[in-house]
Amino acid sequence: MSQVLSQIQDFITVLSLGTGLVVFNPWLILILFVAIIPSFLGETYFNQVSYSLTRSWTPERRELDYLRYIGASDETAKEVKIFGLANFLADRFEVLASQYYKANKKSGSPPCFNWCFAFYVGTGCLLWGLYFHSFANHRRINYNWYTYFFWRVLSSV
């Protein structure tokens, strides 16, 4: 329930900021949409990579869960001890876990850097637009409004 109310609050905030932008200067809305594009594309791509990794590793993850359950359950402890399966289960778990860790690490490190880069490109576009709007039109700058606008946009993303 708290998340729903938070989403409603964010929607009202974005709606009121959008209305203020339309009244103040409609060009800022275009700049805002252009600034969001790099973050959106980066997030979409890296969610696809993460989903692909998770989906492709489903059988191995099930096997890891099964091995963990077999090796750590008190229900199967007697069979593991009688048949001497402890070393086999531990070795198999170690092999699968290290493979999964390496695959996850391989897909996780570059996306973090790339997503941060996309985020900063979008933020740079937004700041450039605000700077251009303020100084190119020789208007008096209201830093309080820009600061509030900037932080509300970042908190809703």
For residues 107 and 53, the answer to whether their CB atoms sit within 8 Å is yes
Q: What are phi and psi of 59, to 5 degrees?
A: -60, -40
Q: What is the pTM of this model?
A: 0.52
Domain count, the chain: 1
Q: What is the pLDDT of residue 132?
A: 65
**Over the chain, what is the mean pLDDT?**
77
pLDDT (average), residues 65-94: 91
Residue whose C-alpha is closest to residue 149's, from 133, 37, 136: 133
Domain ranges, residue 125: 2-156
Q: Which two structure tokens, joined as six digits, stand for 87?
A: 């070393």
Q: What is the pLDDT of residue 115?
A: 62
